[in-house]
Amino acid sequence: MHLDILGIGGTFMGGVALIAREAGHSVSGVDATVYPPMSTMLAEQRISIREGYAPPPPNLTADCCLVGNALSRGNPALEQVLDQGLSYTSGPQWLAENVLRERWVLAITGTHGKTTTSSLLGWILEYAGRTPGFLIGGVPGNFGRSARLGSGNLFVIEGDEYDSAFFDKRSKFVHFRPRTLVINNLEFDHADIFPDLAAIQRQFHHLVRTVPSTGLIIANGDDGAVADALALGCWTPVTRFGTGPDNDWRLEVIDAANDTVELAGEGEKRTFTLPMPGEHNARNVLAALLAARHAGVSLDQGIEALRCFRGIRRRLELRGMVCGIRLYDDFAHHPTAISATIAALRAHHRGRILAVLEPRSNTMRSGVHRDTLGASLQHADRVFVYRPQMLEWNLEAALVPLLGERVLIIGNMEGLIERIAAAAQAGDAVLVMSNGGFENIHERLLAALAGK
């Protein structure tokens, strides 16, 4: 079957493309732009990509078109699909019907930590010899790709609450029907499609309704918003994890500088070293261990697997070191994630931290986070913020009162790079945070630092 994927450059739809190709389908796709790492992975699988939606090709011949949720009516490629009367569906629905139907699905959900927890879980299962399939919104270092079909009965999937397609406004994860469900945390996000947190919790309630009574929900017991979502109705056993005393599995950070934690629950205790720094990652690790345990992997084997975990691209990823200056890349784009990422780096870096932020997400552009963004950046020594087009609020008014002269806001990329390079000194860590390509700032900044 020939599948044509509209919006193939996104992490989810690109992952579907990789899985479909591995399953033996002919795959092509189109997107406005496609950038690494997804462009590289698609090219390695010889998947033909058309860049730019207009003008569309004279005639599409795909057996089925998979439509990404970034496309809406008026998009030339989508209009062509409709005008030609071609068969179409959403990426989540195609995946559910063609890949997940016969699998034990382990879905990782929540506002933060989905990619890290999914990557950890996928590796733990792989280490245990279970050869899982997976679809993850990042690239785990142990696999070098974001998705694969797998040969076992297990499938790990990052369960995004964003909508499925222009014709299906349910969250993607409603299609997945997991047997093991992790709910890491819940905060308001995706302001372009959700009016408030309650609307997101309602989608999580729909998801909870699909988990069988013989399955397991692994939930953050310290998060009141998660508890409220489960209180809407739950028919599945729940294991709660966190730092609070009422959790089934409790986590304590023993030594933050050396990433040593203690895990206790059900009369058992384990002390081990985290593969990634930060308390937020300690929670991610615990969730992954418990999910793998539900699928038959012991805690001891799971902890053993952590020693070989190679991290994830764009999660405090060290992109290079020039003149004694370290450049890190991270996907953080929500104040909670920004604060946690800076804190994790601070625990391991003694020098200055220069935070570089692109407020790119739809939620950030709309101003939902204007009152909390400044506080999330306050533990950086210097802050450089790129002013994107179509920003609907005043960055200066939100950041300068709290950050003062430490913050520089600029709308010119060349100027931004020049100012960062001029400010950086040997011993500094430059932390770039964005949920997009950020105009290849990492390589450009490394070149500018080398030219000092």
CATH classification of the domain holding 46: 3.40.50.720
**CATH value at residue 410:** 3.90.190.20
* Predicted pLDDT at 78: 95
Q: Is residue 311 included in any domain, yes or no?
A: no
CA-wise closest residue to 328 among 354, 351, 308 = 354
- The predicted-structure confidence for 388-404, as pLDDT tens digits, reads as follows 887 878 899 999 999 99
Query: 92: cis peptide before it, omega within 30°?
Result: no
Same domain, 228 and 106: yes
Task: Specify the pLDDT at position 336.
Answer: 87
Q: CA 157, 160, 164, 168 torsion: positive or negative? A: positive
pLDDT band at residue 362 using 50, 70 and 90 as cut-offs: confident
Q: What is the pLDDT of residues 85-112, one digit of tens each?
A: 999 999 999 999 999 998 999 999 999 8
- One domain for residues 64 and 19: yes
Residue 452: the pLDDT is 64
pTM value is 0.84
- Residue 150 resides in a domain: yes
Q: Is the pLDDT of residue 313 over 90?
A: no
- Check pLDDT > 70 for residue 289: yes
Residue 57 has pLDDT above 80, yes or no: no
Domain boundary among 57, 92, 127: 92
Q: What is the mean pLDDT of the chain?
A: 92
For CA atoms 88, 115, 137, 295, give the dihedral sign: negative
In this prediction, residues 208-218 reach a mean pLDDT of 98
Let me know whether 270 and 327 are in one domain: no
- For residue 216, the enclosing domain spans 102-306
- Measured CA to CA in angstroms, residue 210 lies from 96, 158, 298 at distances of 13, 16, 26
Residues 323 and 301 in one domain: no
Find out whether 18 and 146 touch, Cβ atoms under 8 Å. Answer: yes
pLDDT more than 90, % of the chain? 73
Q: Reply yes or no on whether the pLDDT at 426 is more than 80.
A: yes
Please give the tally of structural domains in the chain.
3
Q: State whether 231 and 366 are in the same domain.
A: no
Per-residue confidence (pLDDT) for residue 16, from 0 to 100: 97
| Tokens matching residue 317 | 């990823």
Q: Does 49 lie in the same domain as 109?
A: no
pLDDT at residue 370, rounded to an integer: 86
**132-148 pLDDT, tens digit each:** 999 998 889 899 899 99
